[in-house]
């Protein structure tokens, strides 16, 4: 049974790599944020606006427990998922956890063009965004590094890079499990 859980900061490529990996190995792909949006019929931004971050984290944990029962899946989680409650310990029990490690500058480049749907960063200027990523990442790293595997995901910028990252992921993670 395959259950791979991708964790890492916003912009680390969890969805991009996860979708391509699932396709390549022939299993279903689940993106936790999209799953939450479908189950609640609401965008993540609206859930944050209505229930605050605390309310969102409770929903996120509940939905994580649902998707972690599914078999033969690649699951991409939200950037904050492993950093609240006992989520990372729970994920480690449920499947193969992989931290997608990406240098700060690459995260900044990716997020500066993709901040509008992300409530935690949508109103930040470039300078504020850079500082926020650095400080927030420092706080989150102790959680991320509890994953059983780490994969450097700095090359996901086009189709060719995604395909070779998937190949590398399979060699480094899947064949050594």
Point out which residues bind ligand S3P (CB under 6 A). 10, 14, 33, 44, 78-80, 118-120
Least distance in angstroms from the C-beta of 124 to ligand S3P: 13
Any idea which residue has 């509940």 for tokens? 62
Nearer to ligand S3P, 107 or 166 (CB): 107
Nearer to ligand S3P, 44 or 98 (CB): 44
Least distance in angstroms from the C-beta of 175 to ligand S3P: 27
Nearer to ligand S3P, 33 or 153 (CB): 33
Helices (H), ranges, the chain:
14-25, 32-40, 44-67, 87-94, 104-112, 126-144, 159-172
Nearer to ligand S3P, 36 or 166 (CB): 36
Least distance in angstroms from the C-beta of 47 to ligand S3P: 9
Least distance in angstroms from the C-beta of 156 to ligand S3P: 13
Residue 38, phi-psi category: left (phi > 0), alpha (psi -120 to 50), beta (remainder): alpha
Nearer to ligand S3P, 3 or 143 (CB): 143
Helix axes 104-112, 126-144, angle to 10 degrees: 130
Residue 27, SS3?
coil
Least distance in angstroms from the C-beta of 142 to ligand S3P: 15
| Sheet bearing 96-101, strands edge to edge | 28-31, 73-76, 3-7, 96-101, 149-152
Any idea which residue has 């190995």 for tokens? 25
């Amino acid at each position: 049974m395959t259950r791979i859980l991708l964790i890492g900061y916003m912009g680390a490529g969890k969805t991009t790599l996860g979708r391509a990996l699932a396709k390549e190995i022939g299993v279903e792909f689940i993106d936790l944020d999209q799953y939450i949006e479908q189950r609640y019929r609401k965008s993540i931004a609206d859930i944050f606006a209505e229930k605050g971050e605390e309310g969102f984290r409770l929903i996120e944990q509940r939905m994580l427990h649902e998707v972690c029962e599914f078999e033969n899946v690649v699951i991409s989680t939200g950037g904050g998922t492993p950093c609240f409650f006992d989520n990372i310990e729970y994920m480690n029990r449920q499947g193969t956890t992989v931290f997608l490690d990406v240098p700060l500058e690459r995260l900044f480049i990716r997020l500066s063009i993709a901040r509008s749907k992300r409530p935690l960063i949508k109103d930040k200027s470039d300078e504020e965004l850079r500082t926020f990523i650095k400080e927030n990442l420092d706080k989150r790293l102790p959680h991320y590094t509890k994953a059983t595997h780490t994969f450097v995901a700095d090359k996901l910028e086009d189709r060719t890079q995604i395909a070779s990252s998937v190949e590398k992921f399979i060699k480094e993670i899947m064949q050594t499990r």
